Amino acid sequence: MSDLQFSSPKSVKEAVKILFAAKGKAKVLAGGTDLLVQLRAGRMTGSMIVDIKNIPELRSIKKEKNGFTVGAAVSGAELGAHKAINKAWPGVVEGLELIGSTQIQGRASLGGNLCNGSPAADSVPGLIAAGATCKIAGPKGLRTAKVEDIVLGPGKTSLKAGEFVVSFFLPTRPKRSGDAYLRFIPRTEMDIAVVGASVSLTLDKAGVCSDARVSLGAVAPKPLLVAKAARAIVGTKVDDEALTQLSLAASAACDPIDDKRGTVEYRTKVAGVLARRAATIALERARGN
């Protein structure tokens, strides 16, 4: 076995320096629920592990003037216990909380789930529907990117060598907004999404949808932002006809794989059904806000 090094920086600056010096041979460790499995299976490349959990910025949830900043390594259990985030972005929280068991929730994070690059990552559609952005640190300083621009395909991200996600920003939504994430799996717990769907929407005073974002997971090489599905409900009262159009647009956006979890036809159909159900929940939540 080669000599695997370990480093545990205490600041973003220090982490950037270590990652830069490692010349692309370092792996960033957040909750470890994917990385350690890869390490164990001999599938982890690299000669150094950089644990970013001891950087305060990566572990904190902050209420800002115009939204929330959530550290990339905040665990599912920590996010789930945060009342204000639960109230503002229930769909984002339920996405992260659906990952794995209680034990996994003690460690799994938004940053890790995103950067692992799985098309089926449960927390990513919620972030995309939320219009969340991420703050990325790297050798050239800080930059901001949309969450939908991070994953490029299975295991591949747009992060450059030495870059890592520091935090996510969830903007404050207008009144009468709601979001929801739904996942289909063949059992009730502990499985990988066959399809995931998230919808975030806002209603005006008359109950007409003024803004919406729809995102799908596990139905393409990367999580999708489906603008056409969102357009199907904007300007409507999110009635039956609008929901049918949203559902059709969601199915039309799918380009899934055939595997033991579901066939192409099945995933395509379920994506439409799930998007519709998520929109219905988001609508109820928006009416309650």
Which residues contribute to the site for another protein (CB under 8 A)? 1, 3-6, 8, 29, 31-33, 36-37, 39-41, 49, 51, 53, 75, 77, 100-104, 106-107, 188-190
Question: Is the separation of the CB atoms in 131 and 91 below 8 Å?
Answer: no
C-beta of 107 vs 276, nearer to another protein: 107
Q: Minimal distance in Å, beta carbon 106 to another protein?
A: 4
Within the chain, residue ranges assigned H as helices are: 12-21, 35-40, 56-59, 76-80, 83-88, 90-97, 102-105, 110-115, 124-129, 227-231, 240-252, 264-288
C-beta of 1 vs 206, nearer to another protein: 1
Dist CA 103 CA 110 (whole Å):
16
**What's the one-letter identity of residue 168?**
F
Name the 3-class secondary structure at 4.
Answer: coil
Q: Minimal distance in Å, beta carbon 189 to another protein?
A: 4
Instruction: Name the token pair of 119.
Output: 């098309």
Chain center to CA of 64:
20
Could you tell me which of 50, 45, 64 has the C-alpha nearest to residue 5?
A: 50
Distant-in-sequence, close-in-space partners of 88: CB < 8 Å, separation ≥ 6: 68, 170, 172, 173
Beta-bridged to residue 199, according to DSSP, are 180, 214
How many other β-carbons are positioned within 10 Å of the β-carbon of residue 81? 12
Within 204-260, residue ranges assigned H as helices are: 227-231, 240-252
Could you tell me which of 169, 183, 143, 162 has the C-alpha nearest to residue 267?
A: 183
Q: Minimal distance in Å, beta carbon 37 to another protein?
A: 5
Instruction: Name the token pair of 36.
Output: 């350690």
Q: Minimal distance in Å, beta carbon 8 to another protein?
A: 7
Q: Minimal distance in Å, beta carbon 154 to another protein?
A: 19
Q: Minimal distance in Å, beta carbon 269 to another protein?
A: 27
Distant-in-sequence, close-in-space partners of 56: CB < 8 Å, separation ≥ 6: none
